[in-house]
């Protein structure tokens, strides 16, 4: 659901006559509610448990899919995207909070890698296979199918809520829910991050790199490939799927690596440098080449190294965050990721609108993509540079 917009929105935009900046805005509405509700769901999960919280939010996601199934105007598309963001945002925070409380440090890095691998596997389905389903079932059929799956999973989570270990008395936050409580949680998390420079650097690297890859993978990858190669939708969807495959395999490999080098500044910096190099490879391949194999390789490496680096970041967040505030820090981290993603998606759409569309093919300008994502890589590169200013990412060095 999260990146289904990369398949659905660009062709739908052409049908409705929507501009690139409007496509970016409608896509980003998902991330407005997705980002803003992270701290909300994290606070709720501290009190009623991860199972119940995730179950409620998935029922909301199912309703959002029903709206998207019958959306034929910018307003209804935007409403569906916004509801989807609200309904899906609890999943990552709940599973990370559950894992942090339920598993040892030794098992956590491998578990985070596995969680991310499984989570990103959905992005493989969201491009080429989802595109094929879209061609055969149509937008209505695809979204009704996804909504039914979300409703079923949400119902099962609610049914098994009493098995949630987060509800154990010694781990449960019994403070009542209130708007002031949410505000206090945000303030506490902000102070923790600002007061711990290694944690601040981890947060900045995760925020910029996650927003960067999500802007490519979740919105512009297919249409960028059409611009670069001149090939049809099916070929470009298949090629873009290799980004998602990299995002699946990267965390799996990263989980094994982090077990050996947890807290190592050199290993983390090396992984981030490989991420930046793979991005430059993608940029160069999209500008100079029309070969699908080369572009697929560049996309795979970009997804792979980004995904592997996320495991380093996730392990460091657990290591550097106070145990009682892990959920708050994770929620605030994701709030910032998707806040920046909104800026990146809207910003790239704005830049693309500056350059003329190819009249014969209807594709956006290659120069627009290079400028937009070039600016994103400068921001990401600066966050990676800050890693050199940190002595260590281990708790005992603080």
At 225-257, the pLDDT tens digits run: 999 999 988 899 889 989 989 998 998 888 888
Domain boundaries, the chain: 5-164+177-388
CB proximity list for 349: less than 8 A, separation 6 or greater: 19, 20, 21, 22, 23, 24, 25
How confident is the model at residue 143, as a pLDDT? 85
Show Cβ contacts of residue 364 under 8 Å, excluding neighbours closer than 6 positions. 20, 223, 224, 227, 352, 355, 357, 358
Q: What is the largest CA-CA distance in the chain?
A: 65
Q: Does 297 have pLDDT greater than 70?
A: yes
CATH topology of domain 5-164+177-388: Growth Hormone; Chain: A; (1.20.1250)
**Confidence bin at 166 (pLDDT 50/70/90):** low
Predicted confidence (pLDDT) per residue in 321-344, tens digit: 886 677 778 878 888 887 898 899
Is it the case that residue 151 has pLDDT exceeding 60? yes
Q: By the 8 A CB rule, do 43 and 182 touch?
A: yes
Stretch among 164-173, 179-188, 321-330 having the lowest mean pLDDT: 164-173
Contact between residue 62 and residue 150 where contact means Cβ atoms under 8 Å apart: yes
pLDDT at 173 exceeding the cut of 60 = no
């Amino acid at each position: 659901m999260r990146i289904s917009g990369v398949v659905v929105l660009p062709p739908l935009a052409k049908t409705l006559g929507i501009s690139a900046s409007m496509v970016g805005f409608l896509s980003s509405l998902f991330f407005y509610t997705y980002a803003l509700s992270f701290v909300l769901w994290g606070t709720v999960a501290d009190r009623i448990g991860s199972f119940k919280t995730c179950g409620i939010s998935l029922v909301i996601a199912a309703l959002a899919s029903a709206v998207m199934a019958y959306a034929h105007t910018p307003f209804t598309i935007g409403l569906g995207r916004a509801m989807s963001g609200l309904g899906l945002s609890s999943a990552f925070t709940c599973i990370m909070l559950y894992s942090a409380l339920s598993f040892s440090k030794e098992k956590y890095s491998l578990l985070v890698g596995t969680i991310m691998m499984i989570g990103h596997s959905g992005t493989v389905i969201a491009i080429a296979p989802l595109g094929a389903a879209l061609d055969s079932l149509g937008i209505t059929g695809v979204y009704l199918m996804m909504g039914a799956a979300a409703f079923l999973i949400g119902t099962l989570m609610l049914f098994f809520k009493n098995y949630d270990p987060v509800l154990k008395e010694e781990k449960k936050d019994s403070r009542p829910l209130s708007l002031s409580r949410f505000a206090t949680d945000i303030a506490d998390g902000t102070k923790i991050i600002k007061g711990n420079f290694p944690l601040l650097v981890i947060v900045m690297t995760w925020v910029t790199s996650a927003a960067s890859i999500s802007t490519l993978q979740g919105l512009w990858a297919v249409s960028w490939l059409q611009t670069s190669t001149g090939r049809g939708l099916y070929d470009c969807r298949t090629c873009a799927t290799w980004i998602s495959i990299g995002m699946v395999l990267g965390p799996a490999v990263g989980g094994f690596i982090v077990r050996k080098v947890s807290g190592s500044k050199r290993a983390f910096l090396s992984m981030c440098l490989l991420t930046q190099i793979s991005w430059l490879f993608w940029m160069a391949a999209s500008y100079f080449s029309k070969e699908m194999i080369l572009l697929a390789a560049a996309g795979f490496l970009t997804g792979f190294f980004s995904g592997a680096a996320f495991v380093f970041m996730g392990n460091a967040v657990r290591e550097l965050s106070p145990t009682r505030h892990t959920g708050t820090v994770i929620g605030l981290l994701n709030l910032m990721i998707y806040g920046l993603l909104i800026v990146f998606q809207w910003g790239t759409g704005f830049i693309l609108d500056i350059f003329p569309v190819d009249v014969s093919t209807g594709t956006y300008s290659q120069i627009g993509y290079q400028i937009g994502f070039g600016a994103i890589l400068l921001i990401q590169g600066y966050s990676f540079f800050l890693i050199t200013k940190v002595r260590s990412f281990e708790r005992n060095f603080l």
